[in-house]
Chains A and B, each alone.
Chain A
Amino acid sequence: MIRLFRGLRHSGVLGMNERNADYIMLYNLRRNYPFVDDKLITKQRAERAGIRVPQLYATVEIERQIRKLPRLLAEHDDFVIKPAHGSGGNGILVVAESRNDNYRLASGRLVGIDHISHHISNILSGMHSLGGQPDKAVIEQRVIFDPLFERISHGGVPDIRTIVFRGVPVMAMVRLPTRGSDGKANLHQGAVGAGLDMATGRTTTAVWMDRFTDIHPDTGDPIAGVQIPEWNDLLELSARCHALADLGYLGVDIVLDRNHGPMVLELNARPGLSIQLANRRPLQPRLQRIEAMETVPVDPARRAAMARELFGEEEPPPVQEVGGSGVATAEPVP
């Protein structure tokens, strides 16, 4: 047991206690937490900073506003309703199409305005925020997912989680929903985590339910070698998010929109440790590398370049030929 403990220490895997004591407590000031915990504040700050986020259509803060809902929703064909303080993808209602007073959900179900009103009412009562405190409902643009991950995800919203330390992206993974995760891109709930090569933005290894895997459990397709388009822009976008909340140890969740490219979905002040399993790489050496620097470049583009340079794989996997779907597969990395 002690040998295992030493081995783990030697390997540089970041543990929960160490993450909390040496990184989160040291680099994340508690007073900055509201900037990431409240999605509305995150969104407003991001828009001001020129970071692309799903467009805000409306917010509902008190029960009375629900009556005006049809008018609020009238001009939008599709939209997403989510709680401002939600976590783990709970309480999100995706409306794919609206016609007159009928709304078609992403699941294909047709519902009336009553259903939507009740859902918002639940959000306001705090049903979906873990603390249980009264919440706000956010109505925003529906992201049309890039079909890039179609073959290696099952329903739901694949997103890219990047750990950004002192503004430098240090490790990233794609979170791929499975049948078991019920469309949620949360590793705890059974989503697949696929590591990303920081230099090229290609998927490398993967983990599912704390076990290593090479294929998606639902589709059976190999995971390695999927190229994320415009990887450099994406890295820079993550690096820029550091300025939004002034959190030194930050998790940035980004989705790829088919029409608008990468968009920041939410920020996380306590990102999980499974990213190490997804990449099969320990976090600590990378964090220590950044920690040892006296100053970090102010320019996000330089920080992104630093990440590519420092943390890229020596032998990235070859790009997978994605046939059929007609999507821009392997855009050349500039």
Chain B
Amino acid sequence: MKNLHLKFLALALCLIGGSGVWYKTSVLGLPLTPDAETEVWTVEASLSFQADEGPTRARLFIPSSPPGFNVLSEDFVSGSFGLTRSADGTNRKAEWTSRRVSGTQTLYYRIQVANDPTGAATIPGPQPSFPEGPEYDEPYGSAAMTLLETVRQESADISSFTQRLLLRYIDESPDEGVQVLRSFAETDTEHTHNLINILAGARIPARSVQVLSLRDQMRRGSLRSYLEVHNGTEWVAFNPRTGSSGYDEETLVWHWGEDALLEIEGGNEAGVQFSTARTPRQTVAVAQQQALLGGSMLMDFSLLSLPVDTQNTYRILLLVPIGALVIVFMRNVIGVKTFGTFMPILIALAFRETQLLWGVFLFTVIVALGLLIRFYLENLKLLLVPRLAAVLTVVVLLLAIVSVLSHKLGLDRGLSVALFPMVILAMTIERMSLVWEEFGPREAIQQGVGSLAVAVLGFLVMFNDWLEHLVFLFPELLLIILAVVLLLGRYTGYRLTEIWRFRHLIREQDTR
């Protein structure tokens, strides 16, 4: 069956187009709306130290693949130091070396991250072995055992166990046992270490994580520690200060483990300071950058990879099929008559520059004046091509005159008339005068108004920001448009205007 073939083709086109859009939105994170913005965090770590005479070496942990974030870019300011980077499973390190420096040295590391739009935050790390039950000293041991026993009764699994434990540990009015346990630690890191130690008593694998809390315009920030426990299948993170689980959107994992952030050889008075800043950026740009870093072929060959001025051309070109769809609909389903099949689209494209009202006004003026002159030319009995050339010349002159006049009158909008496609105007005038001659003014004006109406509708549909954004980012939507056009190509129902034209025949049949 012919139609079945067509329907399958249309379905296939829709599927291809739809899955392209789905992939781009959910995997690559391209936004469906033009004004979507994503927060981009710029984090700068500045390390400074006093270098001794002789060779100097500075090792700094740097983020590897922080859960919940995508790394957009990173760079180093190394001065006279040589830079190497190394990675071991979960962590990464930058190492600056210099044979001969002295005095105060400052090195910078800068990273740009954005929240992962897919929300997937898998924590890396190998499957750990169960820790040996530690041998606690007293009174630490009995306090830990009491706490573990209480918590065990309140919890169902490793996550809830850890959470209950944390809540008891940080309780504002802790019981005696917890007071004892807490007296063994003072700093943030020590408390986390303490917790790992207690958890080992329940044979729960745990590790400490050094994180940076992102705040806008933060200066002199430092890392804080988090706790991660392994629940048998994956690592789960906890904030040891609040007991809440998981990393929130403003917690950036810097490195795993308890090792010092910075190691210096051949220097002293070392310190690292963090500053962070938040900048909103267009989601499109962020997604593009991420996809390029991720090596996505689809983005590498997308329109975004073109030079900007070519991109702007395609922003308009991709809208033309939508205009064509409007034309198909208006002609075959509504039944509006127009001059030339796609002439209204070209007029609509010109309206983009002139704005709608001015566009309609200028178009009407030029066509009306052109028609007057065309009727005069008719008297001269010119041959076809010279006549067309004459009309074209007249159109160009009219454009120039309208521009000059409107400029003198201070109406600078009128200048944009030059953007009208003059050949199209000339052809419109020629066609209109032919129809006028052959079918009378009624038909000519009807078709003229029809063309203008379709152009206005085409303009309104084509040039809304949202649609422009959609087809530019998702050109595969045009496949869906193609499918609709193909289906309309086999539409054999009545046109709306035919219902009017044949309305009496309906009654005729009813009464018979």
Residue interface mask B469-497, A partner, CB < 8 A = 1: 00000000000000000000011111100
Are A17 and B384 also in contact (CB < 8 A) when A210-B501, A282-B505 are? Answer: no
Contact B498 A8 (CB under 8 A): yes
Chain A positions within 8 Å of B383 at CB level: 121-122, 125, 127
Contact B493 A1 (CB under 8 A): no
A267 CB to nearest B CB, Å: 20
Main secondary structure of the interface of A (DSSP, over half): helix
A11 close to chain B: CB less than 8 A: yes
- 10 closest A-B pairs (Cβ-Cβ)? A11-B509, A18-B492, A15-B494, A7-B506, A125-B383, A13-B502, A21-B492, A17-B492, A4-B499, A15-B498
The residues in B between 397 and 442 inclusive whose CB is less than 8 angstroms from any CB of A are: 434, 438-440
Which residue of the partner chain A has the closest CB to B501?
Answer: A210
B residues lining the A interface (CB < 8 Å): 332, 335, 381, 383-384, 434, 438-440, 443, 490-495, 498-499, 501-506, 508-510
Contact B499 A8 (CB under 8 A): yes
Contact B492 A190 (CB under 8 A): no
A211 CB to nearest B CB, Å: 8
Are A90 and B508 also in contact (CB < 8 A) when A18-B493, A188-B443 are? Answer: no
Chain B positions within 8 Å of A90 at CB level: 438
A68 close to chain B: CB less than 8 A: no
B389 CB to nearest A CB, Å: 13
A280 close to chain B: CB less than 8 A: yes
Contact B509 A282 (CB under 8 A): yes
Contact A17 B495 (CB under 8 A): yes
Are A276 and B502 also in contact (CB < 8 A) when A10-B509, A17-B332 are? Answer: yes
Chain A positions within 8 Å of B494 at CB level: 5, 8-9, 13, 15, 17-18
Chain B positions within 8 Å of A331 at CB level: none
The residues in A between 210 and 240 inclusive whose CB is less than 8 angstroms from any CB of B are: 210, 212
Chain B positions within 8 Å of A125 at CB level: 383-384
Chain A positions within 8 Å of B505 at CB level: 8, 11, 13, 276-277, 280, 282
A261 CB to nearest B CB, Å: 30
A137 CB to nearest B CB, Å: 14
Which residue of the partner chain A has the closest CB to B488?
Answer: A17
Contact B335 A280 (CB under 8 A): no
Main secondary structure of the interface of B (DSSP, over half): helix
Contact A122 B381 (CB under 8 A): yes
Are A188 and B510 also in contact (CB < 8 A) when A13-B505, A15-B495, A127-B384 are? Answer: no
Chain A positions within 8 Å of B503 at CB level: 4
Contact B490 A15 (CB under 8 A): no
Interface-centre pick from B332, B381, B384 (highest chain A CB count, 10 A): B384
The residues in A between 14 and 31 inclusive whose CB is less than 8 angstroms from any CB of B are: 15-18, 21-22
Chain B positions within 8 Å of A300 at CB level: none
Chain B positions within 8 Å of A127 at CB level: 383-384
A233 CB to nearest B CB, Å: 30
A282 CB to nearest B CB, Å: 6
Contact B498 A126 (CB under 8 A): no
Which residue of the partner chain B has the closest CB to A1?
Answer: B499
Residue interface mask A123-134, B partner, CB < 8 A = 1: 001110010100
Bound CA–CA A276/B383 (angstroms): 39
Contact B492 A22 (CB under 8 A): yes
A313 CB to nearest B CB, Å: 12
Which residue of the partner chain B has the closest CB to A130?
Answer: B434
Bound CA–CA A1/B333 (angstroms): 14
Contact B502 A8 (CB under 8 A): yes
B1 CB to nearest A CB, Å: 14
Bound CA–CA A276/B498 (angstroms): 12
Bound CA–CA A125/B382 (angstroms): 10
Chain B positions within 8 Å of A126 at CB level: 384
